[in-house]
Structure 1
Amino acid sequence: MTRQVTATGTTGAAAERALRQKLVDRRAPTQQGITADTTMTKLAAHWLAFLREEGRIEATTVNEYERVLANVVLPELGGLRLRELTTSRLDVFLVRLRSISTSRQRKAKVVLSAMLGLAVRHDALTVNLVQQTSRVHRQRSEPRSLTLADLVGVREALRAWAAKERPGPKASSDLADIIDLMLATGARIGEVLAVRWADVELNATRPSLTIKGTIKTEAGKGTYRKASPKSDASVRTVVLPGFAIAVLERRRASAPGDPNAPVFPTRNGTWQQVNNVERRWRQVRKDTGLEWVTPHTFRKTVATLIAERVDAETASQQLGHSSPAITREFYISKPAIAADVAHVLDELAASPDPGTGRILGE
């Protein structure tokens, strides 16, 4: 289809220059309403609508993307049209975010790259400019797990918190039991809170627990149990140690007969929120020297212990990771001292037999 393009100027030469520039900037029209003249604010709305309609990404993740756009990206870039974007402009924006927070920089780059990817697919841009910006460098921190002495401190802090006088109903043993089950399984906190009595098998020869759900909280939807955990690899059955069996048997004695009831319900019998449990733990650990311990630390502790006693592959399976590489890099603490091979290295100090050249004692 032939289209006429016009431009104006104060002189004929100026009009011709304006026309040539207009032809350079011109993009073919698209069917989705995304063009080179679309603003970043409008592109963000298109992208979020696409994600929600596609339904491939968790609603909570889409909501987080929307929050990052509203608070970080759009206040500065929202008024720009796609044709006004340059790699240098985006790079300066992202590098400036690094001085505030590496996490904020990383999240902004993720949403910007995905948004511009949509613009490329709709022919509003020819390349994704974000992919040419500086890499996000995160400071690597070594995984830190709990020692047995640390665990003694954790349990003492839990007992002291439960016994503390405070207004309102007396604190329950829920939090201590939740932490024990995290230590017994290596499960995520949302996975533990999503365990139903139907998922527990205490009468088998090898008592076990099947992890096949997680807890989600969404605005307008409330807190609910999602019938699948983080990934396909996260669905797993783990054999329970003795201390976890004791916790579950005690709780089952006072539990309702409904197999779909939560093992760790609220006082009203509903699903507990992850944020509420995390907030309670922050109250417990306050002024105890355990401020560095998060619910994820219990998961790292399980991974480290299994890797030391068995291997990283087994630790990865216990945690529900898709690859042992993830477990090694982010979950297993390095030992304070390398493996004791001093007796092997002692051979290097021996004198060779003059006749054979072999190390004496071989």
Structure 2
Amino acid sequence: MPRPPIPEGKRGEAHASIDKERQATGKKDYWRGICRYRLTGERKPRTAQAYRTSEAKAKRDAAEAADKALKTRKPEYGQKYSSKTTVLELCLSWYERECNTPDGNRGQSIAAFYTEIVKRPGGKKGTVKIEGSELGKMAIGEVRTSHVERHLDPIRHMSEKAYRQRLILVEAFALAARDDAITGNPARESETIERGHKDEPRPFTPEETQRFWEIEAKYFELSPTADKRFMDITRLTYDLLGRPGEALAVIWEDVDLEAGTVAVTGTVVQVGADGKRKVWRQPMPKEDESVRTVKVSAESLAMLKRRWLAVGKPTTGLVFPNKLGNPISATMFRETWVRVLKGTELDWATPKALRKTGMTRISEKYGDKAAQQQGGHAIGSRVTRKHYVPTVRETADFTDALYA
């Protein structure tokens, strides 16, 4: 009669028999106890054994050895995870993997994901994170799609937050599925989160662009103690069609004064991989396509030469360091931007207006491909039209054909 199968995470009954070889050699512990057990995530059972001086002791200790193995040993088929791994443990493991994967998420992205997994000390009460949630406490083998839906439902109105948490869960459960800890991905079948609709991009008009430079110059003329580097940063940001963090991250190794070019090779981010505030230069921009070399205007080139001479013709280091030699934070840049435009007709604009304006002007003259090349977008990317360059809709005028 075949032995009954042992369920995952369980053991069978212990048995004992005399080991005749040990008995023949005169050893007193010739009773051999064995107990079969099966780790969660494994297909075949294992065997625990114990040699003792009596049948009862051999059976007892073999059973205890099997119980201990079930609690402490990791399965071979699921080398890292088992169906008893909690959702929080799985998500933290996914996060650690992303941090250590060269082609994984960029620093600012992975930090944003971390803040959706772990609760911050002193954070707002009632904020939905994976840590502390009912879903986070569940064993992954028990999770069904309905559990994921119940977790996401209270935050669906916060589309970006819900989008991130669903993405974390989908990718984390995929890790467990590839490790044979679970047979499917319950998060993948959950309802897709649509990210919030954004208004049509609003760049500066040519007149507003000129007005911006005038407002900026007047502000610093009337504020002698204000940091005039802001004007240099905005000019370079406009030429690069850059994100503010990209201009702040330019180093002298990126600048070719003879050729009049600047390479975009990094960005300044304000969070570390642990989700805590930390201003640092990330040695890569937001996307791979964002690495580019741009011919800058005569004004920006003159500014760079002036700064280069003023600091002793350096060959390395940040072009715009703070007093300690560290990167200027994008937050400080935005705060200055708000002060410059406060109370003016352009106070609706954010620092992204420079990038939108530059991409729109180039697109109008040379097409989207040229704007994408200088702005660091993938050629053909829909992001250009969705977020930076407004769509021009021509008026249909073929009425004459209707009444011909």
Gaps of 5+ in 2: 12-39, 43-74, 120-128
2:249 — aligned with what? 194
1:181 — aligned with what? 236
* 2:228 aligned with 1:170: no
2:140/2:182 contact within 8 Å kept? yes
2:6 — aligned with what? 4
2:186 — aligned with what? 129
- Between structures 1 and 2, the one with greater helix share: 1
The CA distance in 1 between the partners of 2:177 and 2:256, in whole Å, is 51
The CA distance in 1 between the partners of 2:325 and 2:41, in whole Å, is 58
| Residue-by-residue CA offset, 1:253-292 (whole Å, 9 max, x unaligned) | 4232112132222234432222322232233334435454
2:114 — aligned with what? 66
What TM-score comes out, normalization by structure 2 length? 0.70
The CA distance in 2 between the partners of 1:82 and 1:156, in whole Å, is 59
| Residue-by-residue CA offset, 1:10-48 (whole Å, 9 max, x unaligned) | xxxxxxxxxxxxxxxx74344434211221222223222
What TM-score comes out, normalization by structure 1 length? 0.77
1:259 — aligned with what? 315
| Residue-by-residue CA offset, 1:168-220 (whole Å, 9 max, x unaligned) | x911211122111111220222221122334333434xx32222232344548
- Structure having greater relative contact order (Cα 8 Å, sep ≥ 6): 1
- Report the Cα offset of residue 311 of structure 1: 0.5
The CA distance in 1 between the partners of 2:301 and 2:394, in whole Å, is 35
Gaps of 5+ in 1: 8-25, 352-362
Mean alpha-carbon deviation: is it higher for 307-316 or for 276-285? 276-285
Letter aligned with residue 165 of structure 2: A
- Report the Cα offset of residue 164 of structure 1: 5.5
- Report the Cα offset of residue 331 of structure 1: 1.8
Letter aligned with residue 237 of structure 2: M
1:85 — aligned with what? 143
The CA distance in 1 between the partners of 2:399 and 2:137, in whole Å, is 70
Mean alpha-carbon deviation: is it higher for 247-256 or for 181-190? 247-256
Q: Residue 210 and residue 59 in structure 1: after superposition, are their counterparts in 2 closer, same or farther (change >3 A)?
A: closer
Pairing of 1:86-165 with structure 2 (within 5 A): 86-99=144-157, 101-141=158-198, 142-159=200-217, 161-163=219-221
The CA distance in 1 between the partners of 2:334 and 2:258, in whole Å, is 31
The CA distance in 2 between the partners of 1:83 and 1:196, in whole Å, is 49
Query: What's the C-alpha RMSD, in Å, of the aligned pairs?
Result: 3.2
2:279/2:327 contact within 8 Å kept? yes
1:23 — aligned with what? none
2:359/2:372 contact within 8 Å kept? yes
Name the SS of the counterpart of 1:280 in structure 2.
helix
Name the SS of the counterpart of 1:238 in structure 2.
strand
Letter aligned with residue 203 of structure 1: E
Name the SS of the counterpart of 1:283 in structure 2.
helix
1:34 — aligned with what? 81
Q: Residue 294 and residue 2 in structure 1: after superposition, are their counterparts in 2 closer, same or farther (change >3 A)?
A: farther
State the identity as a percent: 26
Larger-Rg structure:
2
Pairing of 1:272-287 with structure 2 (within 5 A): 272-287=328-343
The CA distance in 1 between the partners of 2:132 and 2:299, in whole Å, is 52
Instruction: Give the paired residue count.
Output: 325
* 2:355 aligned with 1:302: no
- Report the Cα offset of residue 87 of structure 1: 0.8
1:327 — aligned with what? 384
The CA distance in 2 between the partners of 1:347 and 1:312, in whole Å, is 32
